[in-house]
């Protein structure tokens, strides 16, 4: 069957490596998490573990930030993005869609 653990959901990066990959400071990533923009998996007594999916979200945050949106607006956009993906996936599921 299909792999039980998708790489995109498995946190493999620490906060410092994730911050460098997205080009942001570690303090910023913690602020985004405090704002509810994303929720990295917490392991090992409180250390954050960022997955490839979280890195993509961090890049989206930086892009929306540059677009002139604030953290509150970005959080709403990210929420709608996830909701849209969920609706789209449920819509064109096991049925002869367009």
Partner DNA sequence: CTTCTGACA
Partner DNA sequence: TGTCAGGA
Q: Does 72 bind DNA (CB under 7 A)?
A: yes
Q: Does 47 bind DNA (CB under 7 A)?
A: yes
Question: Could you give the strand order of the β-sheet that contains 41-43, starting from the edge strand earlier in sequence?
Answer: 11-13, 47-51, 41-43
Q: Which of 27, 81, 88, 92 binds DNA (CB under 7 A)?
A: 27
Q: Does 70 bind DNA (CB under 7 A)?
A: yes
How near is the Cβ of 5 to DNA at its closest, in Å? 22
Q: Does 67 bind DNA (CB under 7 A)?
A: no
Between CA 58 and CA 65 the distance in angstroms is: 10
């Amino acid at each position: 069957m299909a792999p039980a653990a998708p790489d995109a959901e498995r946190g493999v990066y620490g906060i410092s490596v994730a911050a460098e990959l997205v080009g942001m400071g570690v303090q910023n990533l913690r602020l985004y998490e405090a704002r509810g923009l994303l929720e990295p998996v917490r392991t090992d007594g409180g250390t954050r573990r960022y997955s490839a999916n979280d890195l993509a979200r961090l890049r989206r945050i930086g892009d929306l930030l540059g677009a002139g949106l604030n953290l509150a607006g970005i959080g709403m956009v990210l929420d709608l993005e996830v909701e849209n993906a969920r609706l789209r996936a449920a819509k064109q599921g096991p049925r002869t869609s367009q």
